[in-house]
Structure 1
Amino acid sequence: MGKGTLSRQLVTRICALVALIAIAMGAVGVVIVNRILTDQLDQQLAQAIGLESRGARGSGTAGLGGLPIGSVVVIVSSDGSTTGTIEGMDRTRSSDTSPEVNASMTRVPADGRARTVSVAGLGAYRVIAHHALVSSDSGVITGTVYLGMPMDRWSRVMRELITIEAVFTVVAIVGAAVIARAVVKDSLRPLNRLASTATEVSQMDLDTGEVSLPDRIPASETDPENEVGRVGLVFNRMLDNVEGALSARERSENKIKQFVADASHELRNPLAAISGYAELSERSPEGLSPDVAFAMGRIAAESRRMGRLVEDMLLLARLDAGRNVELVSVDLVEIVLNAVSDVQVASSDHHWKLQLPDEPAVARADRDQIHQVVTNLLSNARKHTPAGTTVTTSVRIEGREAVIAVQDDGPGVPAEIREHVFERFARADAARTHDEEGSTGLGLAIVAAVMAAHGGSASVDSHEGYSCFTLRIPLEELPTGAPPETSPAGAPRG
């Protein structure tokens, strides 16, 4: 197939076919008309040269009459003498031929067959030669008569015919293009609608959430008796199957989300009880053996870790359901400053740096969730990098977005999980975790979910010796002079 749309290809090929047919018909017409005119001229020549002599004119020719103006008669007598005349305009006078004209005429064989000859100074002539008795001033002699009739009328008719054929061909091509375009456009309208629907489906996000597929191809355009109709019918069936699969996937996702939310909610109370009893036993260790005291300590630690996991799962379930996002005007610079101040206290074996702008970066966001997002990134850098690693947290404004970046010079994110680092339960191996707490695999998933709930995004760029997690969140357009909302516990920048 050539380049371009199917409709363009069809119109082009139809026009080419019409042009080919028109040119072929025109060529056949020209050949036929040319043959008819030539036969008529040859018949006229044969009749003229076969006439009996009726006496000589002053030019020495005889026996030829009824010739059109411009006809040339050359007579070569048996003694070798040559005489010739050209029929004049008024039929009463004739002019003698020149030697060049005579030479052109006498090249034609005297076999009684007409031939086209270019006569010097006169143009194209149809010439016939015939041996005959010719009357002259000295009597009847034997000689050869060469008779030529001008082909100007033939040429004029052929030029007009070719012009008409050319105009007809152009009109036929233009007409074919207009009609073919309309017919093809109407015929391919169902196919174009199908392509539009397919394009719309291809641009839809089908992996999560509720999906509403576009309307089906109308029944009037799904006739199984034609090719386009069969494609539309199959496409509708495919959409039905896809919609059924998506509905099943959505129901399954909703069940899983509901289960996670319910399980997380129900686990909070038992975990709180376990943690409370473990802490109670730790307060009175006198009656416990060393082994029991150690076991109770591990129970308390694991219950706290499991409590954090349950809280993370419950937060993700709420974010999936579109709840638990309270948007207020917050200063992102203040949140980052507080988060870095907290992590400095928790991890003094890392080097923590800040790069903050002088002006506030105000966004409509949930303060606690944004703080948790930044804390998760800082905790991720603390857990997965060795002591002495430099972690730089920066805030900058790019256009209508605030950009928060947490960069470190640690070992980098493993290549095998780099593309899935924001998915749930994506973890690095234990050898790369430099913290006793380990990782639940939900911290970065919470980061991605919270940023998506705020209309922002989270991304990572990492290689050996470098990692950078970047958050982007839209800025709020504040009225001139309006200060951002700040919390009472907000720390000053400096």
Structure 2
Amino acid sequence: MSTTLTGVVVDSTPGPADGPSGSGPRRGPFRGWTLRRTLVVSILTLFALVTLATGFGMSTLLERSLVAELDGRVASTAARVLGPGGGPGGHRPEPASPGQGRPLSDMLVVVVDGSTVETNTVATRDGGSRSLAMPQVEALLQAGLTSRPSTVDLGDPLGPYRVVAVTTDRGERVVTGLPMQPLYDAVRQMRLITAGLGLLGFLLVGVGTACLVSRALRPLDRVAATATRVATLPLSSGEVELVERVPSRDTDRRTEVGQVGAALNDLLDHVDVALRHRQESETTLRRFVADASHELRTPLASIRGYTELSLRDDRLPGEVRGSLRRVESESARMAALVEDLLLLARLDAGRDLTHEPVDLTMLLVETVNDARVVGPDHVWRLDLPEEPVEVTGDRARLTQVLVNLLANARLHTPPGTTVTGGLRAESGGAVLTICDDGPGIDPEMLPTIFSRFARGDTARTREGGSTGLGLSIVEAVTTAHGGTVDVESRPGRTCFTLRLPRGS
């Protein structure tokens, strides 16, 4: 909705907030690990690798040892079966007698004479015996067995056997063997025990490492806390009392953390000295500027008064009258500069502002209307909310802020430029915007645009007597009110945004 107010176009249609919005880039879940997590994970990983390697090595050695023992038993079994003289002792193992006890594992004996299988027996641990199936016998005969023990899988239900084959003096081939399943069971049991103990050790090492690392890093946490507290102190301006230091117990230079703490204390000492010197220099300079500005006001007022008085004399020649007008103009400009410097010096010194309710809606309407009178070659617009917006502050200083921003837009943009003064309420305060569709600000100047005596370049031609302090005053007054001021600019759009708290 647009209306006209004393020659000013008013647009009260609410619009979205100016400026881009968005969230920062997301970080991956494994980035930015703390030293504590890195140490714990590294130690646990190393422990797990050592445990796995140790378990694998122990199980391998145990398996080899049991195989060697089994090979010895297989050889002794073969010798017992053959009997004295190298012939088969009856070719069939006898069941264990009651006094001898039961055999520890199944034992097989196969005697082959030519192509005839004379004996095919498996003595079981319970003292009985049974015969091998023909596929099992054929698997033994086709395995290429020798007097050196080798492994043959006889399938269900016997499984793998460690067997040897010996040829007797009569040409008979005697195959004897013992099962390997008890060996595999022993190795499997050993691996399960190792895995269980390794898991228990992993948990104990994890808890213990986390506690020990946390305890060891407590001094570093205290050093980091000190650095964090210092980082939150306002050190950019004003009087700073830097009393934060790392505790003496965390500055033992014999330890790594102590070296960090001592180095941080040395740094803080140097910063404290530098801040004190900076504060003294700023105080001296601020006092000089305030005193000089105050003292210059009287002679400047006298110069302007005598100049005006002299110009009333009609008998002055034209050249003298022109010179006096030039003196009057420059003295007025110098008086404005002195007033700006004095205001900045007072704001730097922390002079209290008045606190009263200020209707920003009417304030913006009045200042934009005044700017229209001064700059009729520009198009002036208002973007106002339906309800008035009020804050608590210094009306005179806030008026000066708006006047400076509007004058900046008028002086540094060509005729025909549209300048829009916007206002909206937000949670806890108000947002004022002064935007124009002029050529924009040089990007190289944006970082220093609020610095004192900063001037625009040819991209925003200066047609008036600018002192270079207008935007500095805008920032100083806004900051004194607890607010912020920002600027964004590109060709065709330049926008100054002020955010002011609502106040008490």
How high is the TM-score relative to the length of structure 1? 0.84
Which residue in the other structure is 1:443 paired with?
Answer: 470
In 2, the alpha carbon distance for the partners of 1:5 and 1:95 equals 67
| Offset of residue 319 of structure 1 | 1.1
Verify: 1:61 aligned to 2:61, yes or no.
no
Which residue in the other structure is 2:107 paired with?
Answer: 71
| Offset of residue 270 of structure 1 | 1.9
Verify: 1:470 aligned to 2:494, yes or no.
no
Letter in 2 for 1:405: T
Which residue in the other structure is 1:322 paired with?
Answer: 350
Verify: 1:340 aligned to 2:359, yes or no.
no
- State which drifts further: 94-103 or 209-218: 209-218
In 1, the alpha carbon distance for the partners of 2:452 and 2:74 equals 103
| Offset of residue 13 of structure 1 | 2.0
In 2, the alpha carbon distance for the partners of 1:165 and 1:48 equals 33
Percentage identity across paired residues of the two chains: 41
Among 236, 244, 260, the alignment partner of 1:207 is 236
Verify: 1:126 aligned to 2:165, yes or no.
no
Verify: 1:10 aligned to 2:39, yes or no.
yes
Letter in 2 for 1:428: G
- Change in Cα spacing, 1:45 to 1:405, as seen in structure 2 (3 Å) is closer
In 2, the alpha carbon distance for the partners of 1:203 and 1:326 equals 29
Letter in 1 for 2:147: G
Letter in 2 for 1:443: G
| Offset of residue 350 of structure 1 | 3.6
User: What does 1:217-366 align with in structure 2 at a 5 Å threshold?
Assistant: 217-286=246-315, 288-366=316-394
- 1:424–1:442 Cα contact (<8 Å) kept: yes
User: What does 1:68-217 align with in structure 2 at a 5 Å threshold?
Assistant: 68-77=104-113, 80-88=116-124, 90-91=126-127, 93-107=128-142, 111-121=146-156, 122-132=158-168, 143-202=172-231, 205-213=234-242, 215-217=244-246
Deviations 1:393-427 (A, max 9, x none): 33332344323233334443344433322221111
5+ residue gaps, structure 2, are 1-29
| Offset of residue 74 of structure 1 | 0.9
Which protein has greater RCO, CA pairs closer than 8 Å, 6+ apart? 2
| Offset of residue 176 of structure 1 | 2.0
| Offset of residue 438 of structure 1 | 0.8
In 1, the alpha carbon distance for the partners of 2:133 and 2:178 equals 16
Verify: 1:25 aligned to 2:61, yes or no.
no
- 2:93–2:109 Cα contact (<8 Å) kept: no
How high is the TM-score relative to the length of structure 2? 0.82
In 2, the alpha carbon distance for the partners of 1:172 and 1:468 equals 65
In 2, the alpha carbon distance for the partners of 1:386 and 1:244 equals 49
In 2, the alpha carbon distance for the partners of 1:250 and 1:321 equals 11
User: What does 1:408-427 align with in structure 2 at a 5 Å threshold?
Assistant: 408-427=436-455
Letter in 2 for 1:370: L
Deviations 1:137-175 (A, max 9, x none): xxxx55232211222322221121110011122222222
- Change in Cα spacing, 1:363 to 1:101, as seen in structure 2 (3 Å) is same
- State which drifts further: 238-247 or 450-459: 238-247
CA RMSD of aligned residues (A): 3.1
Which residue in the other structure is 2:10 paired with?
Answer: none
- 1:361–1:475 Cα contact (<8 Å) kept: no
Count residues with an aligned counterpart: 465
User: What does 1:396-415 align with in structure 2 at a 5 Å threshold?
Assistant: 396-415=424-443
Among 449, 469, 479, the alignment partner of 1:452 is 479
- Change in Cα spacing, 1:347 to 1:101, as seen in structure 2 (3 Å) is closer
Deviations 1:79-103 (A, max 9, x none): 8443221214553x53333322322
- 1:108–1:128 Cα contact (<8 Å) kept: no
- 1:131–1:145 Cα contact (<8 Å) kept: yes
| Offset of residue 202 of structure 1 | 4.9
In 2, the alpha carbon distance for the partners of 1:324 and 1:212 equals 22
| Offset of residue 246 of structure 1 | 2.5
- 1:59–1:85 Cα contact (<8 Å) kept: no
In 2, the alpha carbon distance for the partners of 1:431 and 1:215 equals 47
5+ residue gaps, structure 1, are 134-140, 478-494
Letter in 1 for 2:396: D
Which residue in the other structure is 2:14 paired with?
Answer: none
In 1, the alpha carbon distance for the partners of 2:458 and 2:140 equals 111
Deviations 1:217-259 (A, max 9, x none): 3232233233333233223222222232222222222221121
- 2:297–2:335 Cα contact (<8 Å) kept: yes
| Offset of residue 314 of structure 1 | 1.0
Letter in 2 for 1:232: G
- 2:486–2:497 Cα contact (<8 Å) kept: yes
Moved over 6 A (4+): 56-59, 63-66
In 2, the alpha carbon distance for the partners of 1:111 and 1:429 equals 102
Deviations 1:286-305 (A, max 9, x none): 3x444443333322222222
